[in-house]
Structure 1
Amino acid sequence: MTLPDLDPDLAKDMQAIEIRIDGENRCLAAGKVAMPEIAKGEVLVRIHAAGVNRPDLMQVAGMYPPPPGASEIPGLELSGEIVATAPNVTQWKIGDRVCALVTGGGYAQYAAVPAAQCLPVPAGLSMTEAASLPETFFTVWHNVFDKAGLKQGETFLVHGGTSGIGTTAIQLAKAFGARVITTASTDEKCQACLDLGADIAINYKTQDFVEQVKTATNGKGADVILDMVAGDYVSRNFKAAAMEGRILIIAFLNGPKAETNFTPLLLKRLTLMGSTLRAQPVANKGAIAGKLRQQVWPLFENGTIKPVIYQTLPMNEAQAALDILRGGAHVGKVVLEVP
């Protein structure tokens, strides 16, 4: 497909961050790669910024390969300006400012993006702020609201409250009327969660979150639990859950295996769900985008929720950005600015 109004050199090559493999060592390095070609239903986006997420860290380590057909370039979310559209794309035009969820390719100057997975940059937000939104907001909405059906007045427990997922989940759950309990590793991080709207923040290094959740709910437990830890948290989540509670596991920072007693799962009639987003069909992600645009994007515009950005770095410092995530001291998102 001919690309309109692009510099001839850019129409052939672009700058990107690639995964370089040297024996057992895997790292990120800047390089030149071919420009992506857009297919039916896609738009070409000139990227201004890209969000950095823990799955990127796993991909670089060789633990989370992209799905078939996806770009090998890391980066699951981006913001930028549309510079070309496929002939069958009618909802977007050249010049539109968008942020988008992608299966890969965010750490680059251009990306081919399914039109259905694009959202407008919310009014009042910068491109950098917009780039921090898609991965966590798609994930939280899909799991907490679509799958678990969190309702107004229910109690919601999210582990890792200062992560990108955590800061998003706290704000969304509060915005839709839930009582929010979260866990974090330090008192300072707990305070950051409270500042975002959490009702209760538990320092899991000094307190037993099961006991604290039970105390906070008068013995009832949490109606919905969003867990990125797994491992020994599986059995503890069973104890912390309310009758007919819904537990979602979306990552396993404590490992993919656990020995657990399933008796509470049966006696409490719990629902245990697992989910990944990256390999889901475009139609599924497009449906999530539609709900976000209708129900969540206005909350940015009226100030109910906000992006939480810990640090911004230039794209050529992508390795340093991943090191920040690995260190775990961050609150919110790390974003790369693309030249």
Structure 2
Amino acid sequence: MADLPTEMLAIDPAGPGGPEVLAPVRRPVPRPGPGEVLIHVAAAGVNRPDVMQRLGLYPPPPGAPTIPGLEVAGEVVAAGEGAEALLGQQVCALVAGGGYAEYCAAPAGQCLPVPAALTPVDAAAMPETLFTVWVNLFERAYVADGDRVLVHGGTSGIGTMAIALGRLFDLTVIVTAGSDAKCARALELGAAHAINYRTADFVEEVKRITDGAGVQAVLDMVGGDYVPRNLACLAEDGRHVSIAAQRGAKAEIPLWPVMAKRLTLTGSTLRARPVAFKSAVADEIARTVWPHAAEGRLKPVIDSTFPLAEAAEAHRRMEAGDHVGKIVLTVRTRP
């Protein structure tokens, strides 16, 4: 690392607060440990957990940087022991933190090569949502070709990735969204059906769409009072997967339908999972999903980009709720 700077521009708020706390500061350039690489960041994805961290509601796991940011893309410019093979490569990576910076350390196992079909902004927008949807929809809900899936937040980063993967793996994806315009956009992206939850009862709409049979899986980021309604949407042997709880972490579960329909309720978080688990997921994605990205069949939906120094504006955009797809920070490259 002798030819690298010792300091970098980063977003590292001193405490919780509104978007205004996301001011640029100088921080030491991290040093990669064994099995890690140092990425000179070209772009970094913005995700809902970043907002929660900024508000003081989702602290980084032990050992993770306080700098927010869970996904990056850029060039590997240094490597720890065992990771030297990635030196000089363009990669994107899932990280537990540190993405809102000019340099970011990442476990080598959580890196994916950036194919020519993807721009750095595209690549930076993929790891967090791709890993999350793959783990929860394909591994925990074990969806298969022909399954019907209900996904809330259909135009969010998670929702748009679920639509994209559903299109690739022959799923019938039904989404909810908060406006007719967002529903129309979801249909353009490949959703089979889109329900405006402000003007229609999604439970009744799912029953209508499926002729009363229900869906095989629900991917839920809402929680709270949505959970019993989600269960009403499930077919026999259906699977309900919780990945967030925007309407509350407590829910009242009707047990008779769970027993009568043999339902499975599960869920997960990804950020605090060990490197070995996330590396195994990366390996599976590299084999089963990444060839689609390499051939241009899988790309993220990009809503907007902001320079790293304008991370506050990126968060304001996300909190306004008007975005469709991913918000990405662009980072100045070295001369």
* TM-score scaled by length of structure 1: 0.95
Match of 1:111 in 2: 104
Alignment partners' CA distance in 1, 2:235 and 2:329: 40
The answer to whether residue 154 in structure 2 is matched with residue 156 in structure 1 is no
In the TM superposition, what whole-angstrom CA distance separates every residue of 1:289-308 from its partner, at most 9, and x where no partner exists? 11111111121233332210
Match of 2:306 in 1: 313
Match of 2:21 in 1: 27
Shifted more, 65-74 versus 288-297: the winner is: 288-297
Match of 2:7 in 1: 13
Match of 1:330 in 2: 323
Structure 2 stretches of 5 or more lacking a match? none
The answer to whether residue 75 in structure 2 is matched with residue 81 in structure 1 is yes
Q: Report if aligned partners of 2:95, 2:106 keep a CA contact under 8 Å in 1.
A: yes
Once the two structures are TM-superposed, the CA of residue 4 in structure 1 deviates from its matched residue by 4.7
Amino acid at match of 1:284: F
Give the alignment's Cα RMSD to 1 decimal.
1.5
Q: Report if aligned partners of 1:190, 1:203 keep a CA contact under 8 Å in 2.
A: yes
Q: Give 3-state SS (helix, strand or coil) of 2:203's partner.
A: helix
Alignment partners' CA distance in 1, 2:3 and 2:19: 40
Aligned counterpart in structure 2 of residue 41 of structure 1, from 27, 35, 39? 35
Once the two structures are TM-superposed, the CA of residue 25 in structure 1 deviates from its matched residue by 9.5
Match of 1:62 in 2: 56
Once the two structures are TM-superposed, the CA of residue 124 in structure 1 deviates from its matched residue by 1.6
Runs of 4+ in 1 over 6 A off after TM superposition: 22-26
The answer to whether residue 255 in structure 2 is matched with residue 257 in structure 1 is no
Amino acid at match of 1:297: W
In the TM superposition, what whole-angstrom CA distance separates every residue of 1:125-165 from its partner, at most 9, and x where no partner exists? 11111100000000000111111110001101111000000
Amino acid at match of 2:27: V
Q: Give 3-state SS (helix, strand or coil) of 2:22's partner.
A: strand
Q: Report if aligned partners of 1:4, 1:84 keep a CA contact under 8 Å in 2.
A: no
Alignment of 1:1-339 (within 5 A): 3-6=1-4, 10=5, 12-21=6-15, 27-90=21-84, 92-339=85-332
Amino acid at match of 2:24: A
Percent identity over the alignment is 52
Alignment partners' CA distance in 1, 2:17 and 2:149: 45
Alignment partners' CA distance in 2, 1:307 and 1:258: 32
Alignment partners' CA distance in 2, 1:230 and 1:96: 40
Alignment partners' CA distance in 1, 2:15 and 2:171: 45
Alignment partners' CA distance in 2, 1:299 and 1:22: 39
Structure 1 stretches of 5 or more lacking a match? none
Alignment partners' CA distance in 1, 2:47 and 2:255: 32
In the TM superposition, what whole-angstrom CA distance separates every residue of 1:63-104 from its partner, at most 9, and x where no partner exists? 0000000000000000000001112125x3321000000000
Alignment partners' CA distance in 2, 1:59 and 1:130: 23
Q: How many residues align?
A: 332
Amino acid at match of 1:217: T
Amino acid at match of 1:32: R
Q: Give 3-state SS (helix, strand or coil) of 1:286's partner.
A: helix
Identify if the C-alpha distance between structure 1 residues 23 and 266 changes in structure 2 by more than 3 Å, giving closer, same or farther.
Answer: closer
